[in-house]
């Protein structure tokens, strides 16, 4: 793809997501910047029941507030033995008093004695342009829930999300290794293809 030289505002305060997106998109001349860098601070109530709905809510709100193309990732962990929970509620699992470690400890607690331990991470990327155009891409990464946290890298549920083929949790991978297999990495690869087609058609 040709260098796009485009700036997208990320609808999130999560610095780790910002870094992961820039790692993947910067090769194309796409710079992802934070809301703070363009002087907006948008609180979006995630009222949707799907990753697609929440991703669109976030990207549209930041595009409208900034007047610039905005990109959002709505993501989460879906555990088979828990009927897909925590799913779209991954960031809010266990209520507002828990931090990342509290949430994955609660997950391990809820998984005690459960089988299978299969799960998947899902990411839906949405990009909203000021002219009303919208691009969406979804990525999934299958894995299992570990019996105990392992590794120091990443964020969120990374220490308990185990990739059998690599015999490591997400938190034990380098950023490059995680991006190569992750839900967000896959969604962003698809997004890049869609953006290329979109820009070619302009
Ligand atoms: P969101 O920011 O509303 O999309 O919430 C996503 C939540 O899902 C995060 O707060 C994490 O708890 C979890 N999550 C999403 N992607 C990842 C990941 O790559 N690693 C670990 N946890 C993740």
Q: Is 90 in the pocket of ligand 1 (CB under 6 A)?
A: yes
User: Is 146's pLDDT higher than 80?
Assistant: yes
CA–CA gap between residue 199 and residue 127 (Å, rounded): 13
For the chain, percent of residues with pLDDT exceeding 90: 89
Low-confidence winner among 1-5, 100-104, 129-133, 156-160 (lowest mean pLDDT)? 1-5
Which of 84, 91, 178 for mutating ligand 1's site (highest number of atoms within 8 Å of CB)?
91
Would you say 199 and 135 are in contact if contact means Cβ atoms under 8 Å apart? no
CA–CA gap between residue 188 and residue 173 (Å, rounded): 19
Tokens standing for residue 167: 């015999």
Answer positive or negative: Cα dihedral of 127, 134, 4, 192: positive
CA–CA gap between residue 167 and residue 196 (Å, rounded): 35
CA–CA gap between residue 54 and residue 75 (Å, rounded): 9
Which of 47, 100, 156 for mutating ligand 1's site (highest number of atoms within 8 Å of CB)?
156
Would you say 30 and 53 are in contact if contact means Cβ atoms under 8 Å apart? no
User: Is 2's pLDDT higher than 60?
Assistant: no
User: Is 156's pLDDT higher than 60?
Assistant: yes
User: Is 70's pLDDT higher than 70?
Assistant: yes
Low-confidence winner among 28-42, 107-121, 126-140 (lowest mean pLDDT)? 28-42
In a domain, 40, yes or no: yes
The domain that holds 128 is classified in CATH as 3.90.950.10
In a domain, 1, yes or no: no
Domain that holds residue 83: 6-200
SS (H, E, C) the chain: CCCCCEEEEECCCCHHHHHHHHHHHHHHCEEEECCHHHCCCCCCCCCCCCHHHHHHHHHHHHHHHHCCCEEEEEEEEEEHHHCCCEHHHHHHCCCCCCCHHHHHHHHHHHCCCCCCCEEEEEEEEEEECCCCCEEEEEEEEEEEECCCCCCCCCCCCHHHEEECCCCEEHHHCCHHHHHHHCHHHHHHHHHHHHHHHHHHCC
Q: Which distant-in-sequence residues (6+ apart) come within 8 Å of 160 by Cβ?
A: 104, 107, 108, 145, 146, 148, 149, 150, 169
User: Is 24's pLDDT higher than 90?
Assistant: no
In a domain, 91, yes or no: yes
Specify whether 74 is catalytic: yes
CA distances to 95, 97, 104, 132, 146 from 100, rounded to whole Å, are 11, 10, 6, 35, 16
pTM score: 0.95
In a domain, 104, yes or no: yes
Q: What is the pLDDT of residue 105?
A: 98
User: Is 138's pLDDT higher than 90?
Assistant: yes
In a domain, 138, yes or no: yes
In a domain, 44, yes or no: yes
Annotated catalytic residue, options 41, 74, 80, 133: 74
Mean pLDDT of 189-198: 92
User: Is 42's pLDDT higher than 60?
Assistant: yes
Q: What is the pLDDT of residue 40?
A: 96
Q: What is the pLDDT of residue 191?
A: 95
How many structural domains comprise the chain?
Answer: 1
pLDDT class for 27, splitting at 50, 70, 90?
Answer: confident
pLDDT class for 190, splitting at 50, 70, 90?
Answer: very high
User: Is 16's pLDDT higher than 90?
Assistant: no
Q: What is the pLDDT of residue 31?
A: 94
**Atom number in ligand 1 closest to CA 12:** 2
Would you say 122 and 142 are in contact if contact means Cβ atoms under 8 Å apart? no
């Amino acid at each position: 793809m040709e260098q796009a030289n485009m700036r997208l505002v990320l609808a999130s305060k999560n610095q780790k997501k910002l870094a992961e997106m820039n790692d993947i998109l910067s090769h194309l001349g796409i710079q992802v910047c934070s809301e703070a860098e363009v002087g907006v601070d948008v609180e979006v109530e995630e009222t949707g029941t799907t990753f697609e709905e929440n991703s669109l809510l976030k990207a549209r709100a930041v595009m409208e507030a900034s007047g610039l193309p905005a990109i959002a990732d709505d993501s989460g962990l879906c555990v088979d033995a828990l009927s897909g929970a925590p799913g779209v509620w991954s960031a809010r699992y266990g209520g507002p008093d828990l931090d990342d470690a509290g949430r994955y400890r609660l997950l391990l607690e809820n998984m005690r004695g459960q089988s299978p331990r299969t799960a998947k991470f899902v990411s839906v990327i949405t990009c909203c342009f000021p002219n009303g155009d919208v691009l969406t891409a979804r990525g999934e990464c299958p894995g299992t829930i570990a019996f105990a946290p392992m590794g120091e890298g990443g964020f969120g549920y990374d220490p308990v999300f185990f990739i059998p083929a690599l015999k490591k949790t997400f938190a034990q991978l380098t950023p490059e290794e995680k991006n190569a297999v992750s839900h967000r990495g896959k969604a962003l690869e698809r997004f890049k293809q869609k953006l290329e087609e979109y820009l070619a058609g302009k």
